[in-house]
Chain A
Amino acid sequence: VNDPLETQLTAIVFRPPKWLDVALVITFLATLMLFGLVSYAFATGIGVFGNNVPVAWAFPITNFVWWIGIGHAGTFISAFLLLLNQKWRASINRFAEAMTIFALMQAGLFPVLHLGRPWYAYWLVPYPSTMRVWPQFRSSLTWDVVAITTYFTISVLFWFLGLVPDLAVMRDRATTRRARIAYGIAALGWRGSAETWARHRSVYVVLGGIATPLVISVHSIVSMDFAIGIVPGWHSEIFPPFFVAGAIFSGFAMVLTLLLPVRRLYRLENVVTKYHLDMLGRMVLMTSLIVAFSYASELWNTARGHDVFEVHQNFYTRLRGPYAWAFWTTIVCNVCLPQSLWWKRARTSATFLFVLSLFIQVGMWLERFLIITGSLSQDFLPSSWHDYAPSFVDVLILAGTLGFFGFAFLVFLRFVPFIPIRELQAEARR
């Protein structure tokens, strides 16, 4: 079978563009910076962060929630849209799944970094030890551990299962012996008998079916870290759906941030068409509306309630007080700017979507920062109120995770067929 699409999609991996090496070096240096700073924080103690009492969560947990959220769109695209039989997912699902895996790698760092003694992180796992002490499962911290390890494991399995047939394409198309051996081992001897294909599809649907409720549960559990606390601005029933919508919103923005440059640089306009951009734009608009509704609902419920500290938190600290800058930037980025997507011209313009997606990243990060830092800095005891300022270590670690994320993603682009070849061929036959 001589398929021009197959030739195109394997050639972009076998003959990588020149800019890729430069980008790999830059992001690798950023990754080294991250590891250096993490070592510094471990060796000195987490006092190097700007965290204080009462603002004990601050940057690390903001980054954690933000990175986890970014992962969610990948699973949403690959699992949810698979079950809904949305054909347009086929061009971008592997790309989005890889984004999920690498975002989770960044997210997983932060709770560990943030522990007072990070080298005891394994105490959160229920293993039989001579201390005869077990983790406390009534604490939401242990829920996080289970949720994130499960999410990471299932994401990797789902991604790899979909990848195996395409690794076999790479094996069969490889021209050098080294590539043939490497892809041959990775493809596990895939032969493509009709029975295997049928089984592959049924298992893929099973994994999609369990990944769909999983993705919703993960950010719900993350939101419960806040919602089961009584801190003003946190103790709210709307948090699970609010966090899930925000997660998918920021994740779709990250898909656009990554996809649009890759589409341009690899000349994939024939695979990732304007139609795909249109659909992604609609998803961003939809989730933006849910997020906007959640903001409004929080203010409404606070106004209808009688808790002076909730009222102070939501109507003073955030709207007019020390965090007003973050609140209004969030509103502009997450509520106002995405309204442009009602127009089809905005949804199909790659440049516009790219710029918009950057604003949404900033907006969603600030939203989490606002929830965490705003609430902690002004809670029930005015005598202990304290402002927060990040240290340079905080800022550079966030920058370092962006570099590490970019590095992992570029390695993925370099070695893995990142557009599903076999799936697109099957789709084209239909």
Chain B
Amino acid sequence: MSQTFARFADPPALASAIRALRDRGLERIDAVTPFASEEVERALGPRPSRIPWLAGAAAAAGVVIAFEIIDWTNARDYALDVGGRPLHSVFADVPIMFETSILAAGLCAFFAFFVASRLPRLHHPWFEVDLDAFWLVVDARDVGPEVDALLREHGALETREVSS
């Protein structure tokens, strides 16, 4: 499978080219930008990440895990009577349950980001082009003379083919 890269001068030109290709019904479009550009992301269409939900689930799991660890260790496996106080007081659990839930959510979000982005990956065909520029990436099978003309019309400065 190979991909066609078309370079543009700035985010607005890139965004308008993306919109033009999407209007023609092309789906397999991606873009490369040196820095985050909401304009380009909007043109590509909303692709909401599921990671926040995953992190939320991890946070809930963290609460349960902390509660269970405290309950098992202090109230069951090694019950220590300290002046007749309850063996397991939920109020004393709050700090640890909260921290564990944050820790679980943070670790989950962090690693989910790299898994979803397919990183780390030190070798990649995309490194053949200079990624410090604004590129439109489209599946080479979709590119015919018409698409090529469309790209030039929207200000593509050069096109390159990258095979992977």
A residues contacting B by CB (< 8 A) are: 1, 126, 132-138, 140, 142-143, 146-147, 149-150, 153-154, 157-158, 161, 165, 168-169, 172, 184-185, 188-203, 206-207, 210-211, 213-214, 217, 221, 224, 422-423, 425-426, 429
Contact = CB atoms under 8 A, between A and B. Distances in A.
B157 interface: no
Contact of A192 (B33, B102, B112): B33
B103 interface: yes
A195 B47 contact: yes
B106 A202 contact: no
Contact of B96 (A134, A146, A168): A146
A107 B74 CA distance: 28
A133 B78 contact: yes
A136, A157, A195, A203, most chain B CB atoms within 10 A: A203
Contacts, number: 172
A214 B34 CA distance: 32
B49 A198 contact: yes
A132 B33 CA distance: 56
B32 interface: yes
B11 A429 contact: yes
11 contacts: A137-B73, A137-B92, A150-B102, A150-B106, A157-B107, A188-B119, A190-B119, A192-B131, A196-B119, A206-B51, A426-B36
Nearest to B96: A146
A277 B159 CA distance: 46
Contacts of B105: 206, 210
B98 A206 contact: no
A192 B127 CA distance: 11
Contact of A1 (B80, B102, B132): B132
Contacts of A425: 34-35
Contacts of B11: 429
A213 B102 contact: yes
B25 interface: no
A187 to B, nearest CB: 9
A188 B122 contact: yes
Contacts of B35: 165, 192, 197, 422-423, 425-426, 429
B102 A199 contact: no
B63 interface: no
Contacts of A137: 70, 73-74, 92-93, 96
Given A126-B73, A203-B49, A154 B103 contact: yes
A136 B81 CA distance: 11
Interface string B117-142: 10111111011001111100100000
Given A126-B73, A194-B44, A203-B112, A1 B133 contact: yes
A194 B106 CA distance: 23
In the A-B complex, the 5 residue pairs with the closest CB atoms: A188-B120, A134-B73, A194-B31, A422-B35, A143-B95
A138 B75 CA distance: 11
